[in-house]
Structure 1
Amino acid sequence: MPDPAAPAGAPDALDFALIRATQAGLPLDPAPYAAVGAALGLSEAEVIARLAAMQARGMLRRIGAVPDHYRLGWRANGMTVWDVDDACVDVLGERIGALPFVSHCYRRPRHLPHWPYNLFAMVHARTHADAAPQVTRIAALLGDACRAHDVLWSTRILKKTGLRLPPAGQATQETR
């Protein structure tokens, strides 16, 4: 039940409980939303509806899998960076982002003269040699619109989590 004292669209105590129940990931269960709901006294449909509402209000950006590529055997994780003609970077970026081996692709501003790259695409493979054809395929799709590129290889995972709320009732830095 929503908190009647909360402003319209503001999260209520149940929203925060749902965030806390899912912030470390969904349970490995054939019906993960039902399992979360059971712990909170909600139905599976209520959990899904609340998460969708929080997403629509901009409280949640997305709900998705966050794989640990290293544990899955994908040790060659490279952020490919490309210096692409600004006139066609958006169209080409859409094509690159649609490739099955690209996990994410986005445009970023250049920082000349030291950083000419404006298109970034993450690739994953078991070895650097296995990733080479992926990089070559991206280069072929970019064609003459690409002036230069590089691959920045990951050496470790720095962060794989989003926001973490403290347990209910525990003060945060902002409230102390």
Structure 2
Amino acid sequence: MMMDILMYLFETYVHSDADLQVDQDELEDELLRAGFKQKDIYKALEWLEDLAELQNTDNHSAIAMSAATSTRIYTAQEMTRMDVKSRGLLMFLEQIGVLTTETREMVIDRVMGLETNDFELDDLKWIILMVLFNVPGNENAYTLMEELIYTAERGVVH
């Protein structure tokens, strides 16, 4: 349910170019009117705050300095949440330059921040878009990711 709220917000406020400066109370009211539960709304808004906070911390300075040839080893919890296809997508996107080691770690952090046992490849794609949209300097990567998603949906793969 939290993923539904995040996708609703992303589509409503990003893809529609709606005003992103929305009062949190108004936003909560809108989500309640849309049929979402208060508890899920709070979790989704907290998830978004945590995403914004990732940009403001120096946690990723060691990641940014890691070698391009390094390999990401996933924890047992990460492998439980993200199946082989999800991990393969992350590796592919990193290899073609859509994700950096830093944005990859932000994506993994936000995947693990979801409170769900129902995590699918499509959910990962949305989270990647949200991370790339929210991290300054990733406009080209965001556009490329969007193109990859919509091309795959049409069944055209290069």
TM-score range, shorter-chain basis?
under 0.3
Q: TM-score, normalization: structure 2? A: 0.28
Bigger share in helix: 2
Larger Rg: 1
Q: Normalising by structure 1, what TM-score?
A: 0.26
Where is the strand percentage greater, Structure 1 or Structure 2?
1
